[in-house]
């Protein structure tokens, strides 16, 4: 029989090991919840770097909430509460499978820090003005979530592109535009500061999905009526870049803000 002190010491180290394991696991998950994980850059996407290189099986490991696109720019992605959907250019909504890939996207674990009531916003510019006026700081990234009824919603989805890939400003000229009246649904996206220009979309970048999951897309304009905006301040940022494909030869030193303005707003004048 082992001496009693050996048994006690073994038990002590076993319990300590378990406690350290839980502590490390908890720390990692807490860090994940405060991190925006991003695939590639918006400027690379604008220049036609559409090759999906991160499988959604991997993308999903970094959050339960986010927006992105698909290989060859095939539609818009929206994720919330751990559920991922693709909104295609034909208007159909399908669930995202693990083997699908993305060339650009952002994801995090959503846990709201702030709540901003918006009684009424006549368009997306009015909405941005109201929410930005009460942000605690404009130097951080925020995950943005809304659930409600929307009197008007204008979205888009870009069809799958063929090689050689065009610049996004040209690809978006053939986008599908969807108009919804008096629908209920969810808005998912991010607000990012000017300091990330070239990496992500400064300001609001939002996607929509109807509650019946029959439509949605990248938001170009909307009317907001009595909705609470939930904001999750996200101070940490991780980015992964492709190691092959068109990214390595893309010209990313220029100012693409004009292209971004056209792509983000499409035909909307707001």
Query: How does pLDDT run across 181-205, given as a tens digit for each residue?
Result: 999 999 999 999 999 999 999 999 9
What is the number of domains present in the chain?
1
Lowest mean pLDDT among 17-21, 68-72, 168-172: 17-21
12: in domain: no
Predicted pLDDT at 76: 98
Spatial contact of 144 and 191, defined as CB atoms under 8 Å apart: yes
pTM of the model: 0.88
Helix/strand/coil (H/E/C) assignment for every residue in 192-222:
ECHHHECCECCEEEEEEEECCCCCEEEEEEE
Tokens of 203: 């300001």
> Of 120, 109, 45, 83, whose CA–CA distance to 216 is shortest?
83
Tokens of 179: 């108009």
Q: Regarding predicted confidence, which is higher, 46 or 14?
A: 46
Query: How does pLDDT run across 62-119, given as a tens digit for each residue?
Result: 999 999 999 999 999 999 999 999 999 999 999 999 999 999 999 999 999 999 999 9
Predicted pLDDT at 11: 38
169: in domain: yes
159: in domain: yes
CATH number at residue 223: 3.30.1330.80
54: in domain: yes
Instruction: Quickly state the pLDDT bin for 33 (edges 50, 70, 90).
Output: confident
């Amino acid at each position: 029989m082992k001496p009693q002190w050996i048994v006690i010491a073994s038990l002590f180290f076993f319990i300590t090991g378990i406690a350290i394991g839980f502590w490390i696991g908890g720390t990692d998950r807490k860090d994940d919840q405060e991190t925006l994980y991003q695939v590639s850059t918006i400027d690379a996407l604008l220049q036609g770097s559409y090759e999906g290189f991160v499988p959604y099986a991997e993308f999903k490991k970094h959050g339960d909430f986010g927006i992105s696109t698909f290989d060859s720019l095939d539609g818009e992605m929206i994720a919330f509460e751990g559920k991922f959907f693709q909104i295609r250019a034909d208007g159909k909504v399908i669930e995202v499978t693990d083997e699908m890939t993305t060339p650009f996207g952002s994801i995090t674990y959503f846990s709201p820090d702030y709540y901003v009531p918006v009684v009424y916003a006549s368009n997306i510019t009015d909405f941005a003005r109201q929410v930005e006026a009460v942000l605690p700081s404009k130097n951080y990234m925020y995950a943005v979530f809304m659930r409600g009824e929307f009197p008007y919603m204008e979205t888009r989805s870009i069809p799958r592109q063929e090689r050689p890939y065009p610049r996004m400003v040209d690809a978006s000229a053939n986008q599908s535009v969807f108009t919804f009246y008096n629908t209920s649904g969810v808005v998912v996206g991010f607000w990012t500061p000017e300091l990330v220009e070239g990496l992500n979309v400064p300001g609001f970048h939002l996607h929509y999905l109807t509650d019946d999951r029959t439509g949605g897309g990248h938001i170009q304009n909307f009317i907001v009526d009595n909705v609470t905006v939930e904001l999750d301040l996200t101070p940490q940022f991780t980015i992964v870049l492709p190691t092959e494909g068109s990214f390595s030869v893309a010209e990313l030193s220029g100012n693409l803000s004009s292209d971004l303005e056209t792509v983000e707003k499409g035909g909307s004048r707001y």
